[in-house]
Amino acid sequence: MPGSALAAPSKGGAANLAMIGEPQTLDPMASTADLVSTIMQHVYEPLYTFDANWNVAPMLAEGMPAISKDGVVYTIPLRKGVKFHNGKEMTSDDVVASLKRWMDMAPRGKAIAKEVKSLEAKGPYTVVITLNRPYAPLLAHFALPSGFAVIMAKDSIANPLTQFVGTGPYVFKERKPDQYVQMVRFDGYSARKEPPSGYAGKREALLDELRFVPVPNANTRVEGMLSGQYQFADLLPVESYSRLEGNAGVKAVLTAPFGFPYLVLNTKQGPLANLQLRQAVEAALNNADMMGAGFGDAKFYTTDSSHYAKNTPFYS
For residues 103 and 126, give the distance between their C-alpha atoms in angstroms, rounded to a whole number: 19
Number of CB atoms found within 10 A of residue 251's CB: 14
Which of 290, 265, 260, 294 shows the shortest CA–CA distance to 280? Answer: 265
Omega of the bond leading into 271 within 30 degrees of 0 (cis): no
> Are 34 and 62 contained in the same domain?
no
The model's confidence at residue 78, banded by pLDDT at 50, 70 and 90, is very high
Q: Are residues 271 and 194 in the same domain?
A: no
The C-alpha atoms of residue 180 and residue 19 are separated, in whole angstroms, by: 10
Task: Verify that 248 and 266 share a domain, yes or no.
Answer: no
Q: Per residue in 116-132, pLDDT tens?
A: 999 999 999 999 999 99
pLDDT in tens, 187-230: 999 999 999 999 999 999 999 999 999 999 999 999 999 999 99
CATH code of the domain in which 20 resides: 3.40.190.10
Whether the pLDDT of residue 89 is over 80: the answer is: yes
173 and 243 both lie in a single domain: yes
Query: How many independent structural domains does the chain possess?
Result: 3
116: helix, strand or coil = strand
Residue 84 counted as domain residue: yes
Look up the CATH number of the domain holding residue 130: 3.90.76.10
User: Which residues touch 250 (CB under 8 Å, ≥6 apart)?
Assistant: 5, 6, 7, 225, 226, 244
Distance CA 278, CA 49 (A): 40
Domain termination site, one of 144, 177, 200:
144
**Which of 92-106, 230-244, 285-299 holds the top average pLDDT?**
92-106
Whether 167 and 249 map to the same domain: the answer is yes
Q: What is the chain's mean pLDDT, rounded?
A: 92
Same domain, 201 and 239: yes
Domain region containing 32:
3-43+159-254
- The confidence score (pLDDT) of residue 255 equals 79
Cα–Cα distance, 57 to 193 (Å, whole number): 13
pTM: 0.86
75 and 138 Cβ atoms separated by less than 8 Å: no
Which whole-number Å values give the CA distances from 125 to 35, 115, 152, 260, in the listed order?
32, 23, 15, 40
Whether 316 is in a domain gets the answer: yes
Please give the distance of CA 247 from its chain centroid, rounded to a whole number. Answer: 28
Whose CA is closest to 231, among 204, 205, 210, 258? 210
